[in-house]
Amino acid sequence: MSILRRTLLLILACALFSSAAFSSLSLYSTKVKTGGVLLVSARTTMKTVVFDKKEYRLFSFDDDFQRCFIGIPLDLKPGKYSIKCGKETTEFLVINDTAPSEAITISGMGKIDEKLAQEQHRKMLKSIAGISEKKLWSGRFIRPVEGRVTTDFGTKRTVNKQTKGWHKGVDLASNTGVPIKTPAGGKVLMAEELIGSGNSVVVDHGLGIVSVYFHMSSIKAKPGQVVRPGDTLGLVGSTGFSTGPHLHWGVYIFGTSVDPFIFMKSDYFIGLRKK
């Protein structure tokens, strides 16, 4: 066998071994709770990945990987699921996050303009489902306000004896007038009074991640304003449908609500640099 032929066979063998050993599609974790966050990485020319029959946009990072964050819905049935990117597929396990339940009574809910409330709700849904290609935050999120958690994320809630599903955020008790801090860099999408959530602010952090802040006594931010961690978005209050002074803090990924505290403690938010 000639030297040239042996060299070509060696190169081919190395290439085959490399492609077999290296998977371009990977997950930060292969087990995630409902209401959790899945980080998908892929070295690919594909623009999207598919999960549960829905496409999710991939974004380029400076290590030549494409990535996206996927929120796991609270009502998703536990079990094995797959992420597909082109012809490649990888599996992960969804487990049920056991959540408490609570029943509350709120006065005045029957005396609202239903049409206006629905219009405002559609506007809110449109804002939290937006996709910004820029990564506007860096590192872990900070807590927007100090105070004990009065209602956990994912709590099964009954309001005025009617089941309302899951609580899509965390309620942090505080005193009226306490400043509410921006937990991470972003851009204000909405800042207005809404029927249900009272004085409300929505912040876009980029890459499909949006956070919301409800029931403020007053709003200190404006739509289009670029904010940095620690900037004041508003003041704690009890506007809208509320039982007392607190902040409702929620985080959404491509319109799916996830546990906000994940963004304060997860390592995969450290060091990710967008191109």
224 lies in which domain range? 101-269
Strand, helix or coil for residue 238 = coil
224 and 204 part of one domain:
yes
71 and 131 part of one domain:
no
Q: Is the pLDDT of residue 12 over 50?
A: no
77 and 112 part of one domain:
no
66 and 114 part of one domain:
no
For 22-104, where are the alpha helices, taking DSSP H only?
none
Cα–Cα distances in Å, from 111 out to 72, 75, 87, 107, 198?
34, 30, 53, 9, 15
> What's the token pair of residue 128?
């939290």
32 and 120 part of one domain:
no
Taking alpha carbons only, the member of 53, 96, 76, 106 closest to residue 246 is 106
Q: How confident is the model at residue 123 (pLDDT cuts 50, 70, 90)?
A: confident
Instruction: Give the domain CATH number at 194.
Output: 2.70.70.10
126 and 202 part of one domain:
yes
Q: How confident is the model at residue 256 (pLDDT cuts 50, 70, 90)?
A: very high
184 and 237 part of one domain:
yes
Q: Which of 28, 61, 95 is a domain's end point? A: 95
59 and 110 part of one domain:
no
Residue 31 class from Cβ within 10 Å (0-12 exposed, 13-18 middle, 19+ buried)?
A: exposed
- Asked if residue 136 belongs to a domain, the reply is yes
Q: Is the pLDDT of residue 3 over 90?
A: no
d(CA 240, CA 200): 9
Quick: pLDDT tens for 67-82: 999 999 999 999 999 9
Total count of domains within the chain: 2
- Asked if residue 186 belongs to a domain, the reply is yes
75 and 105 part of one domain:
no
Angle, CA of 165, 239 and 208, to the nearest 5°: 55
> What's the token pair of residue 218?
């007053």
Cβ neighbours around 111 below 10 Å, total: 6
Q: Is the pLDDT of residue 160 over 80?
A: no
Cα–Cα distances in Å, from 151 out to 157, 182, 225, 260, 268?
9, 20, 30, 13, 26
R_g (Cα) of the chain, nearest Å: 22
Quick: pLDDT tens for 16-30: 333 333 348 889 889
204 and 249 part of one domain:
yes
Task: State in Å, rounded, how far the first CA of the chain is from the last one.
Answer: 47
For 49-130, where are the alpha helices, taking DSSP H only?
114-128
- Asked if residue 275 belongs to a domain, the reply is no
- Asked if residue 274 belongs to a domain, the reply is no
Q: What dihedral angle (degrees, nearest 10) is formed by the CA atoms of 259, 263, 268, 269?
A: 150
Region 53-69: mean pLDDT is 87
Region 144-148: mean pLDDT is 94
88 and 107 part of one domain:
no
Q: Which of 46, 78, 95 is a domain's end point? A: 95
Taking alpha carbons only, the member of 23, 22, 59, 26 closest to residue 40 is 26
Q: Is the pLDDT of residue 266 over 50?
A: yes
d(CA 97, CA 119): 32
87 and 128 part of one domain:
no
- The model carries a pTM of 0.84
Q: Which of 95, 119, 151 is a domain's end point? A: 95
Q: Is the pLDDT of residue 254 over 80?
A: yes
d(CA 96, CA 34): 6
Contact, 186 vs 206, CB < 8 A?
Answer: yes
- Asked if residue 218 belongs to a domain, the reply is yes
Q: So what's the pLDDT on residue 7?
A: 44
Cβ neighbours around 223 below 10 Å, total: 13
d(CA 154, CA 164): 11
Instruction: Give the domain CATH number at 53.
Output: 2.60.40.10
